[in-house]
Amino acid sequence: MVRGRRSGLPICVAIHSTVLGPAAGGCRIAHYADPGAAVADALRLSEAMTGKNALAGLEHGGAKAVVALPTAARPAGAERTALLHDLGDAIESLGGRYIAGPDVGSSPADMSVIGGRTRHVCCRPVEDGGSGDSSLHTARGTLAALGAVAEEAFGSPRFAGRTFGVIGLGAVGGHVARLLHRAGARLVVTDVDPGRRGLAEELGAAWVEPDDALAMEVDVLVPAALGGLLTARTVPRLRCAAVAGPANNQLDEPDTARLLAARGILWAPDVVVSAGGVIHATGIELRRESEERLTARIEDIAATLHRIFHLARTRGTTPAAAAGHLVGELVRRGPSTPHTMTQEG
């Protein structure tokens, strides 16, 4: 934890694990009541990144950077540059053990500014030599995941004739809805932004109001907006066979996975479903992998989910617990090839 010499803001970098390789994870720039809350968030989120990267088959550990803003106001202009340069210095001081990317409150353009102080940064815009917007790749990974979910829940990975309820038609959700439509799925969609109705009409999707979203009668509910929507209060309202989407941190707490299982609702862990973006960005920028190789890796999300569902079935546990077990195994086994600590790899 350091205080930025330009911005005066507290910056916390939590490196949870480097067993599988340099730790990768986003930079969260958000308001926290006190620096202690920011540290707690960084620790929790960095652990989740270890799981996400391991389950995505990436030779990266997990980490997260958090900049604690004193108010909800987002720094802009010179103030923002100062904060991003402080963040870049903090990242550089870790000598490549941590590779930063965008997260809540930070953008690919911010990564370019951070890149002025350190080369251990990923997901810059294409014009700055980065891999650009990751949302399409996150959506492609989500489609692979939905195929595995459909197979597990209905015995066939086919989308035609099935109904998917997409909550949030933003960058990722919009792509997911388009890809599902193209694959012959029926769609029910919602967004708090009524401006997204145009996309719904274009895709022939039924529109529901956001307040009614959780109770949509669909085969699979696809959360693609904010996290924390699955709680002890909302799970009883669900009218779907499965929940699988790219939104991060869908469960308000780990035990909610058991409530879903008790209702016979299949839940695909979001850390697995949403990994397409990080697979693609790190593949292009850190491993120089081909698009063919990356497509195979993204499609592998389906195989990982099949493994998790199988483990959950045979152990009589939830997919969330099975995913946790698998992460433990992957980290214990260690990297399959020796890794280097530099981005040139």
Ligand X SMILES: NC(=O)c1ccc[n+]([C@@H]2O[C@H](COP(=O)([O-])OP(=O)(O)OC[C@H]3O[C@@H](n4cnc5c(N)ncnc54)[C@H](O)[C@@H]3O)[C@@H](O)[C@H]2O)c1
Q: Which residues bind ligand X (CB under 6 A)?
A: 134-135, 138, 167-173, 190-193, 196, 210, 213, 224-227, 246-248, 274, 277
- Chain center to CA of 292: 22
**Secondary structure of residue 308 in the 3-state scheme:** helix
Closer to ligand X by CB, 274 or 282: give it. 274
> Are the C-beta atoms of 67 and 26 separated by less than 8 Å?
no
The per-residue b/e assignment along 143-162, b for 16 or more CB within 10 angstroms, e otherwise, is bbbbbbbbbbbbeeeebeeb
Catalytic residue (choose from 60, 64, 124, 175): 64
Closer to ligand X by CB, 7 or 248: give it. 248
Shortest reach from residue 132's CB to ligand X, in Å: 11
Closer to ligand X by CB, 34 or 193: give it. 193
Closer to ligand X by CB, 9 or 224: give it. 224
Closer to ligand X by CB, 18 or 190: give it. 190
> Are the C-beta atoms of 27 and 13 separated by less than 8 Å?
no
Closer to ligand X by CB, 87 or 176: give it. 176
Identify the helix (H) or strand (E) that includes residue 282.
Answer: helix 276-285
Q: How many CB atoms lie within 10 A of CB 277?
A: 27
Tell the burial category of 299 from Cβ atoms under 10 Å away from its Cβ (0-12, 13-18, 19+). Answer: middle
**Residue 15: which of 68, 94, 133, 126 has the closest Cα?**
94
Q: Give the CA distances from residue 24 to residues 27, 49, 120, in Å, rounded to whole numbers and listed in that order.
A: 10, 7, 9
> Are the C-beta atoms of 54 and 20 separated by less than 8 Å?
yes
**Residue of this chain nearest to ligand X (CB atom):** 170
Is 64 one of the catalytic residues? yes
Shortest reach from residue 178's CB to ligand X, in Å: 13
The residue whose two tokens read 């997911």 is 176
Strand 266-267 with 242-243, pairing: parallel
**Secondary structure of residue 159 in the 3-state scheme:** coil
Task: Name the residues annotated as catalytic.
Answer: 64
